[in-house]
Structure 1
Amino acid sequence: MTRTQSDTGAVSQENEGKTPRKAALSGWIGSVLEYYDFTLYSQAAALVFPVVFFPTGDPTVALISSLATYAVGYVARPIGAIVLGNWGDKHGRKNVLVIAMLLMGLSTLAVGFLPTYDQIGLWAPLILVFLRLIQGFAVAGELGGASAMIVEHAPAGRRGFFASFGLQGTQAGSIIATAVFIPLTAVLTDEAFIEWGWRIPFMLSAVVVLAGFLIRKHVEEPPAYTRSLAVQQAQNRQAPVVELFKNNGWTVFRAILMTLANVAGVTTLVFGTSFATQEAYGVAMPASTFLWVPLIANVAAVIVIPVFGMLSDKIGRRTLMIVGSFGSGLVAIGYLTAIQSGNLVLTIVLAILMMGVLFQMWNATFATFFQELFPTQTRVTGFAISQNVGLMIVAFLPSIFTFVAPPGSDNVPLVVGGLTLAIATVSALATLFTPETRGKDIENHD
């Protein structure tokens, strides 16, 4: 039976309608799996690793050492951004996403089997650092590739909405990682959790390795990318990273400064967890209790992210990003003061406001904004380098916060909260001086 032209057109329109949804689903699932792995490490760095891998007589030194290994993962991210970003721009978005997922899953699984300091001595933290470097290298290619694929498949007037699902996936992955820790800390004794219980969530990362081959094979490369690739090959253009800094270096610099808005996340989830649960700070909330704080904040984030993504398609990207970055920084002092007072209810309320709502104005929007700032031929590279250099800077902040406001010092909430606000303000100003991109033709600008 022969199809009529109208039938063929109807099928084509149906496929075009499904493709953005399929790309968004692929980005969402991949982000869930990647950030499940990455969040596990940040939780364990605050709760477990100071004892298991960095046992010293000084709890402050152990905590700083553990949080520094958390930051090491971000040191590898600029390298991963250059390598995987170039790969994604030269060999395809789909290709780089599978590579990133497999590297992340295998390195995280290996952490679950890593012997302790008492068993193999200094080799334990050294291997831990090496695995963290692989994690950082891998995750650098995930969001850049996923959001590029989504944005390039999405209709021009709905790019913010569709791209927001990749960011929703990162929060969902964080929720799952935290949710896995909560029953373990509640059911197991402290001794059992430190001895073996913390390993279970890392071992579950075997799912990532299996899913890496399956999730993205049904998503096609975006037409905008395939057309751009044909032009690059015909013109024998320079490597994406060279072309990026030649034509868009100032844009990269501003995007790095904008990424400093992530200080809200490390203040809430990393330093905040240490401040609340480490006995040396004098608060000593039970870990099983405090883990509900980031969990509830991330649940709120999952709900609001698509709303802010949709709103960015209506009013633009910049307004949401400016309000979100500055507003979340403004709440930091109150959030840390609530922790210090031991008021769990107020801590949860302010965590929802800071991390679950205000920061998500920025978080839901930045991926679309960054992708729209760069031309197709350097899009993944530009996004990945900007985001991951910024995140590398942010990743050292928990250790810096602990250094300038160590256990026993006065005014920890004021010092750390004030620094958080100052850094968030830099992000807001960088956004203010960047042109709006809503409605921009992302395929045909250089």
Structure 2
Amino acid sequence: MSSPTAPSGARNPNSPRMVALGSFVGTTIEWYDFFLYGTAAALVFSPLFFPDVSPAIGLIAAFGTYAVGFLARPLGGVVAGHIGDRVGRKAMLVASLLIMGASTTLIGVLPTHASIGIWAPILLLVLRLVQGFGVGGEWGGAALMSVESAPSNRRGFYGSFTQIGVSAGMLLAVGAFSIARTVLDEEAFLAWGWRIPFLISGLLVFIGLLIRIGLSEPEKFAEMKQNDTIADRPVVELFRNERRAVYLTTGMRLSQNAIYYLYTVFGIAYIARSLGSATSVGLNSVLVASAIGLVSVPIWAAMSDKVGRRPLYLFGAITSALFIGPFFLLADTGNPVLITLAMVIGLNFFHDAMYGPQAAFFSEMFSTGVRYSGASVGYQIGSVFAGGFSPLIATSLLAVGNGSPWLVVGYFTILSVITAVCAYLAPETNKKDIDDDTPNQARVAAPSSHDTPSPSNA
């Protein structure tokens, strides 16, 4: 037992449940921070930071700063992937939490346009970029910690704790704004009430750090580090040997991410501004769907451990494409019950079929030495092309269509088709031994092959 290379010596002392808890809490806090910005962009940033333009242009400008955060996410993913694959998953997860917490708290004390003029939106933009960089390194590390520490037959389920951290973050962010908006009148909310959710971030980050600092590295990575078999340049190795997996994960991310922000960011603004409904209608519908997501995401993930990641992902992409039109038809009724029903169906029944298995699916597609880089880069590049700009593009298409949502429907349908094709081309991974790295690329390029791959086949 004293040998450092023995399993009992190499294995980290944390149980899969403890690792999953650490991933869940940290991810919840980081995405609480990230979603606060999206909710504020939909509700308050236009009049506070862009008061000199029309409300429609102000909303587009606010969503523009929101989208810019996504531009920094691939850079954050590359840097975090390099550090995570070279130094360790834990170190990067602690750093990303600190970066997100600091930038979010600073937004909470940022003067508005009325106080410092043009510097207000400029500083807002800078802090959003820092947010994007921080969150770019979060998901990959949290997903890997959960998946690599999980029993082989429950990787989907344990990986879902990273995913529900995102739902919990959205729940807290929307809930914080909903409470502030309900308790305060319009004047107080715009004057100072919107800052409270951002300032709460500092306390939450402290709690998350206490949990994450106590975690250890997964067994396989710890062994590689001890045996000095870590890749010198993980990102270079990734694109040399496993780039096809990067392309597939990027494509599979498109619809999942775009659909999510269609409902939770653009949907709130569409319901509030285009339909003239109360702000609380859109917020509360997202709140309900996010709460249900805490249950639906693990259910879909656990199903993927039984029937496979690929068929559920295909189901989610196809049904999401088919439901975009009906979502707007239900939203256009202005009925709070039907709007909430539309959110629940779109997010929990269809979107979550992709999102539940995603952490395990993406992690399993890469070998251990480049897994942090691979999962992060594929995930974050897809976020730029889909999630980050989807509210901005949707708002612009709505304006071009004179308020009609059918151009928006067409845009999101195209993204869903791309995702379905990539999911069809991806290998099934739920039975894969993720510690056996030798045939990893061959399984991605040609699932039935057991030959050692060459870069030319990647």
- Judge same fold: TM > 0.5, yes or no: yes
CA distance in 2, matches of 1:369, 1:391: 17
Q: Deviations over 1:371-391 (max 9, x none)?
A: 000000000000111000100
Tell me whether 1:58 sits opposite 2:54 in the alignment: yes
CA distance in 1, matches of 2:289, 2:317: 16
CA distance in 2, matches of 1:434, 1:230: 32
Q: Deviations over 1:151-182 (max 9, x none)?
A: 11111111111111111111011101111111
1:44-443 matches, cutoff 5 A: 44-231=40-227, 233-234=228-229, 237-261=231-255, 262-278=257-273, 281=274, 283-394=275-386, 395-406=388-399, 409-412=402-405, 414-443=406-435
Note the C-alpha offset of 1:191: 1.4
Task: Identify unmatched segments of 5+ residues in structure 1.
Answer: 6-11
After alignment, is 186-195 or 206-215 more displaced? 206-215
After alignment, is 152-161 or 325-334 more displaced? 325-334
CA distance in 2, matches of 1:253, 1:376: 18
Q: Determine helix, strand or coil for the equivalent of 1:213.
A: helix
Paired residue for 1:38, among 34, 43, 62? 34
Q: Name the CA shift for 1:59/1:407 in 2 (closer, same or farther; >3 Å).
A: farther
Q: Determine helix, strand or coil for the equivalent of 1:86.
A: helix
Do 2:14 and 2:215's aligned partners in 1 also have CA atoms closer than 8 Å?
Answer: no
Note the C-alpha offset of 1:344: 1.7
CA distance in 1, matches of 2:248, 2:376: 14
Do 1:144 and 1:380's aligned partners in 2 also have CA atoms closer than 8 Å?
Answer: yes
CA distance in 2, matches of 1:50, 1:36: 21
Do 1:372 and 1:442's aligned partners in 2 also have CA atoms closer than 8 Å?
Answer: yes
Aligned residue pairs, count: 430
Q: Determine helix, strand or coil for the equivalent of 1:221.
A: coil
Note the C-alpha offset of 1:398: 1.3
Do 2:12 and 2:217's aligned partners in 1 also have CA atoms closer than 8 Å?
Answer: no
Do 1:102 and 1:212's aligned partners in 2 also have CA atoms closer than 8 Å?
Answer: no
Do 1:300 and 1:357's aligned partners in 2 also have CA atoms closer than 8 Å?
Answer: no
CA distance in 2, matches of 1:290, 1:444: 46
Do 1:153 and 1:223's aligned partners in 2 also have CA atoms closer than 8 Å?
Answer: yes
Task: Identify unmatched segments of 5+ residues in structure 2.
Answer: 2-7, 441-458
CA distance in 1, matches of 2:162, 2:276: 35
CA distance in 1, matches of 2:181, 2:401: 26
Q: Determine helix, strand or coil for the equivalent of 1:406.
A: helix
**How much identity, in percent, do the aligned residues show?**
38
Note the C-alpha offset of 1:259: 0.4
Do 1:326 and 1:421's aligned partners in 2 also have CA atoms closer than 8 Å?
Answer: no
